[in-house]
Amino acid sequence: MTEPVRLSKRMSELGLSSRREADEWIARGWVRVDGQVVSELGSKVLPGQKITVERQAAAEQSKRVTVLINKPVGFVSGQAEDGYKPAVTLIKPENRWPEDPSDEQFHPTQLRSLVPAGRLDIDSVGLLVLTQDGRIAKQLIGETTSIEKEYLVRVQYTKPGKLPDADLKKLCFGLWMDGKPLLPAKVRWQNDDQLSFTLKEGRKRQIRRMCDMVGLKVVGLKRVRIGKVKLGDLPVGQWRYLRADEQF
């Protein structure tokens, strides 16, 4: 006999919504289990039971926006800290990329519950995703995510000579952090002082710490791609909407 699980957790596992969205919809009576409305928070279901959501839920979800921003140095990804502004404060009409191909109209309600799906250090620049859609957040930062993130990293070698090939291989696989092995990464030279890192995880200050382990000092770090979505020509400090035809 399979154990019952919370309905909101099961909806998240099925990709119907985030857990928070699921709880909102359950409370509004928008969720059915085997055809019956379930409106009590904390209700449990068996894995084989059929879960459906009312049309209103899908309509509300489709109104949720996802924004791509080229984060400048000096802005934090999430909540304001130590006097630094969060990246969401850049999401205003005057900072929208004039070449944004989306027909979406900006409205202040889009700033409500617009949260970063992944972090970029205060000293790092490049592609940051802010979303109101719990499904996208789960896709990008959920525990089971396998979406690649690509970075261009300018470095200085702090020892004589140049970085040995054996240490480049270590960056690709073999380093440990916080007592756990890092997942395999793709690391290669772009030119004499710049590496390309492609990762499937994002531990705190991971690239800077990886470089430190092999004697490299990070001088600049820029995220240029998340999954299939590229930073492209988006200027620093400007933003655009994720298009309907774009998928991570």
Residues marked as catalytic:
121
User: For the purposes of burial, counting CB atoms within 10 Å of the CB of 178, is it exposed (0-12), middle (13-18) or buried (19 or more)?
Assistant: exposed
From residue 62, alpha-carbon distances to 89, 96, 102, 104, 119 in Å are 23, 21, 15, 12, 24
- Angle 206-213/165-172 helices, nearest 10 degrees? 150
* Neighbour-count burial for 112-127, b at 16+ CB within 10 Å, e otherwise: eebbbbbbbbeebbbb
Query: Whole-angstrom Cα distance, residue 75 to residue 124?
Result: 9
> Between β-strands 44-45 and 31-33, what pairing exists: parallel, antiparallel or unpaired?
unpaired
Write down how long the chain is: 248
